[in-house]
């Protein structure tokens, strides 16, 4: 099969009016016309065997892929459904670290989230006041570390004279490769600075600084997992995050008690605060409950949920600072 074949564009019988002022020549194509019949049959009738083999191979590959997809989905279901998690926490003998790496699925690609890589380390700079250590961000940092290669550094700004040693080591020990910044996907630079409000800077060219721990937490969480696509759920997450920071963190005991009751009733109905999955709402509320010192006196559902959160193993750095 040296060349592909094309069906005739127009019918074989056509009467063309030939002007009489010209002389006639015999049809040069007419002689070949007879030998063409066998190929015509091929084109109209059965398919060539080589093409057939190719199609079979493709079908086979597709079938294998579907199988793989089903297998992965099955695996994901057993691991990430909250029930399975709760089972784990109940038995609690299993290492929670094992499941944490697959906790957040979903397509998150740093290029699409943070813009194209221009060769510079994508460095997230967080200015925090040492008087109010941002616990949620430390939790999110440890989650980011499991997901990406993160270069974590802690600095003290000259506006602050001294910082307790646990704040200097709050991002964990130095990464072994930290001498080569280009080997990392993401930078997490925490600067203890005299700022009235926590502040995050990412791209000074295209982005204004983000203020407030809650807002920075939202930004960081989006690097881990997309927000729920259901707007109602997304709003719920947002609402819980705001509740945590505005009503739990620094408010009167009365207001705090109201929030704790609301938490208790929500957690009575589902294992996590929003929907069936662990989310930013849980992280924010956990940190604010612990920071407010209300944990020991919390109602039973809240206690159980606090335990379940802790068993996920992401709260280690935050717990160190609470002590």
Partner 1 sequence: MIKEEVHGATEEEQQAQSKKAMKKQQKEAEKAAKKAEKQAKLAAEQQSTDEDDFAKDRYGVSVMVQSQQKLDRTLVRVQDLAPEKADQLIWLRARVHTSRAKGKQCFLVLRQQQFNVQALVAVGDRASKQMVKFAANITKESIVDVEALVRKVEQKIESCSQQDVELHIERIFVISQAEPRLPLQLEDAVRPDGEGDEEGRATVNQDTKLDNRVIDLRTTTSQAIFRLQSGVCQLFRDTLTNKGFVEIQTPKIISAASEGGANVFTVSYFKTSAYLAQSPQLYKQMCICADFDKVFCVGPVFRAEDSNTHRHLTEFVGLDIEMAFNYHYHEVIDSITDTMVQIFKGLRDNFQTEIQTVNKQFPSEPFKFLEPTLRLEYTEAVAMLREAGVEMGDEDDLSTPNEKLLGRLVKEKYDTDFYVLDKYPLAVRPFYTMPDPNNPKYSNSYDMFMRGEEILSGAQRIHDAQLLTDRAVHHQIDLEKIKSYIDSFRYGAPPHGGGGIGLERVCMLYLGLHNVRQTSMFPRDPKRLTP
Shortest Cβ 109–partner 1 spacing (Å): 19
* Structural contact between residues 151 and 186, judged by C-beta atoms closer than 8 angstroms: yes
- Nearest Cα to Cα of residue 124 among 186, 72, 41: 186
Shortest Cβ 212–partner 1 spacing (Å): 18
Residue 53 contacts partner 1 per CB under 8 A: no
Exposure of 6 in the CB half-sphere (CA atoms within 13 A): 3
* Contact string (CB under 8 A) for partner 1, positions 128-167, x = contact: -------------------------x-xxxxx--------
Say which residues have a Cβ less than 8 Å from residue 78's Cβ, sequence separation at least 6. Answer: 84
Strand partners, 186: 150
* Contact string (CB under 8 A) for partner 1, positions 188-207, x = contact: -x-x-x-------x-xxx--
CB atoms within 10 A of CB 68: 10
Residue 176 contacts partner 1 per CB under 8 A: no
Residues 80-119 that bind partner 1 (CB under 8 A): 118-119
Q: Report the C-alpha gap between 190 and 156 in whole angstroms.
A: 8
Total of residues contacting partner 1 (CB under 8 A): 23
Residue 173 contacts partner 1 per CB under 8 A: no
Shortest Cβ 205–partner 1 spacing (Å): 5
**86, 125, 167, 233: which one binds partner 1 (CB under 8 A):** 125
Which helix (H) or strand (E) covers residue 253, if one does?
helix 253-269
- In the bound state with partner 1, the residue whose beta carbon lies nearer, of 137 and 260, is 137
- In the bound state with partner 1, the residue whose beta carbon lies nearer, of 87 and 194, is 194
Q: Report the C-alpha gap between 75 and 71 in whole angstroms.
A: 6
Query: Burial level of 224, CB count in 10 A (0-12/13-18/19+)?
Result: middle
Q: Report the C-alpha gap between 160 and 154 in whole angstroms.
A: 13
Q: What are phi and psi of 63, to 5 degrees?
A: -60, -45
Shortest Cβ 117–partner 1 spacing (Å): 9
Residues 238-267 that bind partner 1 (CB under 8 A): none
* Structural contact between residues 7 and 43, judged by C-beta atoms closer than 8 angstroms: yes
Residue 232 contacts partner 1 per CB under 8 A: no
Q: Report the C-alpha gap between 124 and 127 in whole angstroms.
A: 10
- In the bound state with partner 1, the residue whose beta carbon lies nearer, of 157 and 303, is 157
Shortest Cβ 262–partner 1 spacing (Å): 39
Instruction: Write out the residues near partner 1 by the rule CB under 8 A.
Output: 118-121, 123, 125, 127, 153, 155-159, 179, 181-182, 189, 191, 193, 201, 203-205
């Amino acid at each position: 099969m040296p060349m592909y074949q094309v069906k005739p564009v127009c019918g074989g019988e056509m009467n063309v009016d030939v002007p009489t002022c010209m002389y006639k020549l015999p049809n040069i194509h007419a002689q070949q016309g007879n030998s063409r019949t066998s190929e015509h049959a091929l084109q109209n009738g059965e398919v060539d065997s080589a093409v057939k083999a190719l199609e079979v191979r493709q079908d086979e590959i597709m079938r294998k892929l579907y199988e793989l997809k089903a297998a992965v989905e099955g695996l994901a279901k057993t691991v990430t459904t909250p029930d399975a998690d709760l089972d784990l926490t109940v038995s609690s003998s299993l290492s929670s670290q094992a499941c944490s790496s697959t906790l957040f699925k979903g397509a998150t690609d740093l290029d699409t989230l943070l813009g194209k890589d221009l060769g510079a380390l994508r460095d997230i700079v967080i200015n925090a006041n040492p008087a109010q250590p941002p616990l949620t961000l430390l939790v999110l940092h440890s989650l980011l570390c499991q997901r990406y290669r993160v270069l974590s550094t802690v600095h003290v700004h000259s506006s602050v004279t001294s910082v307790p040693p646990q704040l200097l080591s709050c991002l964990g020990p130095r990464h072994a490769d930290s001498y080569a910044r280009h080997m990392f996907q993401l930078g997490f630079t925490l600067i203890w600075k005299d700022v009235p409000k926590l502040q995050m800077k990412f791209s000074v060219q295209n982005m204004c600084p983000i203020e407030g721990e809650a807002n920075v937490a939202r930004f960081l969480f989006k690097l881990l997992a997309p927000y729920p696509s259901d707007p109602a759920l997304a709003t719920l997450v947002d609402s819980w995050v705001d509740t945590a920071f505005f009503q739990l963190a620094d408010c009167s005991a009365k207001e705090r008690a109201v929030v704790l009751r609301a938490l208790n009733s929500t957690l009575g109905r589902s294992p996590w605060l929003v929907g069936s999955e662990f989310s930013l709402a849980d992280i924010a509320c956990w940190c604010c409950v612990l920071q407010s010192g209300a944990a020991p006196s919390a109602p039973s559902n809240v206690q159980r949920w606090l335990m379940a959160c802790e068993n996920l193993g992401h709260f280690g750095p935050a717990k160190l600072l609470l002590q």
